[in-house]
Structures are given as C-alpha cells and as structure tokens.
Amino acid sequence: MGKRRLFTRHPGRTRIFPGAALFLAALALGAEGKFSLSPYLDYNYSSNVFWNVNQVADHAFSPGLELGFSAGDLELYLTADGRFYQEYSELNSMLVAGGLNWIKVFSPHTSLFVSPDFMLARYSGDLAFLDTHAPGVVLGIKQVLSKGLFGRLGLSARYTDYLREDSYDRVRLGLFGELSAFFPSQTTLRLSAGMNILRFPHVALANAADGEDPPGSSGAGPGDPRGGHYGPPSPATGAAGSSAVPLSIPQPYAVARIAQGLGYKTGVFAELMLRRNLDPLQGIQAIAASEWALEQTDDDFFWEGSRLWLGVKTEAVLGLDIALDLFLLRKTYDGIEALDLDGIPLLPLATRADTLTQAALRVGKRFGRLDLSASAAYRRNRSNDLYFRYEFLTISAGMQFSL
C-alpha cells in the first residue's frame, strides 16, 4: 500500500492559509510585547559524533524556530528544529519541545511555581529506535526566608517513552530542596540536595530467592555499538518461572555552588556535585552501552561520583558575551562491567570507571535583533572500559534573529 496523502486538493493553499493566520496573530501579539519569534541556524562539527573509540567525525546544520508568549504570571515556549548531517544522513533528527512556566505569588514571601514540558524526537534509518515522547513536570514552592536568603522545595517527574523500543523506557522521579544566600559583596552561596528515583519498567531483575543472576548483568548484548550496529538493545526480562521486578535505582545527590561578581560585567563560579546510586545498575548493560543514545534526551544519570564545574562569564571585553567552563568528572558505574573492544568483560573483573575532563568556550555578540555566537569544546574521557577511551573537539557557530 502506498503512502497516504495528507492533502488531496490544493495542498499549497491548505498549508498557506493557517500559516498566514498564525503569522498575522504573532505580529499582533508581538506588537503588544507578549509574543517573541526567533528563527535560528546553527552549524556544528564534531570529531567524534558518538563519543566513543570509533572517532566518527561529521558536520551538521540545525535550522530551528523558537516561539515565546508571556501574559502575567504565565510564560509559554515552543522550539522546533532539525539536525542534518553531511556525511551520515542516517543520523538526521527532528525535535519539538515546549512547555510553560507559571508562578503564583501568594504573599511577599511565598510563591508557587509549576513547569510542565514535553519533548518529541524523531530519527531516521537504524536510529528510529530513538523516537521518543518525553513529558515532564516540575512543581514546588519558593520561600523568602529573610533579606538575601531564599529557599525552594519541589518535586519533578519525567516519563521517557521510546516508541519503538520499550527496553529504553524510564521514569525519573525527583525530590529537591535548595537554599540560596545573597551578600552585598556580590557573593552567592547555594546548597542543593535531593533524591532521584530512576525506574525502568521493562528492565526486570530476578529476585535473589530465585537463585539466578540478574539478566543482562554482563556482556554487551546484541545491541552493543561495538558490533557496529546502531539498533536498540534487547530488553532484559526475568527468566521463565522466576519472580521478576522492574529495576529502580534511588540516587541521592548534593550540590554546593559559590558565585562571585567582579564588578557589573564579570562573574566567576565553582560548583561541586556528589551523587550516589544506592542500588547497582545490573540489568541495563546493553542500554548503557551507548551514552550518546541516552543523552539525546538530556538524560545523564547512570554514573555515581563527583563533578567539579568552574566557570567565568564576562561582558567586559569589546562588549562580547564570553563564557569559559571547565569540568572534571570522576564516575563509576556499579553493576556495569568494564569490557574490551569485542564486548568481553576484562579480567580480572572490574566495574566501569571513567575520568572525564572538558573545556568549553563560548563567544556571543548581539547586533540589535541579531545574535551571533561561536563556541568550541574539547572533551577527554579515560575509562577502564576500552570502548569509552575517547576524545573529541566540537566547533559550533550560530545566528538567531528575534522578531
């Protein structure tokens, strides 16, 4: 059967009329200062597209459009873009994301914030298993405790639904608290702590009483990219007759941040994160084989350990917006074995452990309604898992026009 036609009569007119109506409505709202429309075009080169030992390089262009609307306590936003690779067109993708921020002020000291959002992602070719729906929500209360002292307490939830591969599906629940202090010396201190619960409903672990090893606890699995296949891993399920439960990983974390202003145009900051997985990651060896595939939806949760982030931002040089960031991460993956390039566990057996360093520089300049930017980043990852010993250089440039 051939493809179904979406428009059978006057397809151009069918598409132009609604588009023209939306454009005219946008101009009317924009005249009132409530609506923003920002088309953009980004260019990106990476010397290692997949962040692994294969060192696959390519160029990509990303045209997109950002929409924003504000009315009182409500802000809405919508972004749609595509990424089109020059050499590996099978990596092409389309992304739509949006949501709203709503703040209700109950008193000069107390306010409620609610932020639901969503993301839709589509990929081509063998990467179609990454097609995703990911709705989420953050809600909480902000409290002014005293002059210069603020607190936040809230909940978050996100369901990442992979349309073609259930074994990737996951739920992330979070509870967080934050305390911020501002001092006349332009110093800001922030302490945050919380608990994430990572739940994989289609990755099952057999109960210890069954006397069986957790499925998928070793080996790369048929979906491991070491075999040159981009496809999904096989879902880990309990053995026949065993009592299997979905995998859940409680993950407490703490973050300390200090920022110091140096005049009105320059600031420096340092941030330290510590986090721990209370349960091992056994059962998701195949899923964890490609961190690139997981982070396409901005999920970065498998590792435990520490992250140090140092940065400086300034507008004091020729009116440019300059930001420099330095990262050091020491990560371990309890329950995931270090493998060789053939996907065989190394002997003696060891848990995967990485040390990642990264430096990123971004320079931007605004000319009226036009924003121009350029950035470069270098990442170096050293791991006892040979597949994840890699480095790469990324160079990006972009322009965005605000209407």
CATH number at residue 334: 2.40.160.40
CB 225 within 8 A of CB 52: yes
What number of CA atoms fall less than 13 Å from residue 374's CA on the CB side?
1
Query: Six-digit token pair at 243?
Result: 């009592």
Instruction: Tell me the pTM.
Output: 0.82
- Omega prior to 348 cis, within 30 of 0: yes
Q: Is residue 369 part of a domain?
A: yes
Closest C-alpha to 372, from 68, 43, 37, 80? 43
Give a yes or no: residue 5 inside a domain: no
Please report the pLDDT score of residue 226 as a whole number. Answer: 56
Q: Is residue 2, in this structure, part of any structural domain at all?
A: no
Strands 132-133 and 110-123 turn out to be antiparallel
**pLDDT at 309 (0 to 100):** 98
Residue 64's pLDDT is 96
Are the beta carbons of 191 and 178 closer than 8 angstroms?
Answer: yes
Would 4 be classed as within a structural domain?
A: no
Task: Determine, yes or no, domain membership for 54.
Answer: yes
Range of 241's domain? Answer: 11-401
Instruction: Report residue 290: phi and psi, to 5°.
Output: -135, 95
| Number of domains composing the chain | 1
In this structure, how many other beta carbons lie within 10 angstroms of the beta carbon of residue 299? 17
All residues at 6 or more sequence positions from 203 whose CB lies less than 8 Å from its CB, including other chains: 167, 216, 235, 236, 246, 247, 283, 284, 287
CA distances from 40 to 66, 68, 364 (A): 8, 14, 14
**What pLDDT does residue 281 have?**
77
Q: What is the DSSP annotation of 250-272?
A: EEEEEEEEEEEE-SSSEEEEEEE
- Two structure tokens written together for 323: 């930001």
The pLDDT tens digits along the chain (403 residues) read: 333 333 333 434 434 444 445 455 555 555 555 889 999 999 999 999 888 898 999 999 999 999 999 988 899 999 999 999 999 888 899 999 999 999 999 999 999 999 999 999 998 877 888 888 999 999 999 999 999 999 999 999 999 898 887 777 889 999 999 999 999 999 999 999 999 998 888 877 655 444 444 433 333 333 344 544 344 444 444 444 445 567 788 999 999 999 999 988 999 999 999 999 988 877 676 666 666 766 665 667 788 999 999 999 999 898 899 999 999 999 998 888 898 888 889 889 999 999 999 999 999 999 999 999 999 999 999 999 998 999 999 999 999 999 8
Give CA–CA dist 198/305, Å, rounded. Answer: 16
Q: In which element (H, E) is residue 306 found?
A: strand 304-314
The CA–CA distances, whole Å, from 214 to 220, 276, 291 equal: 14, 21, 21
pLDDT at 71: 86
Residue 344 counted as domain residue: yes
Confidence (pLDDT) at 28: 53
Flag whether 3 is in a domain: no
pLDDT of residue 343: 84
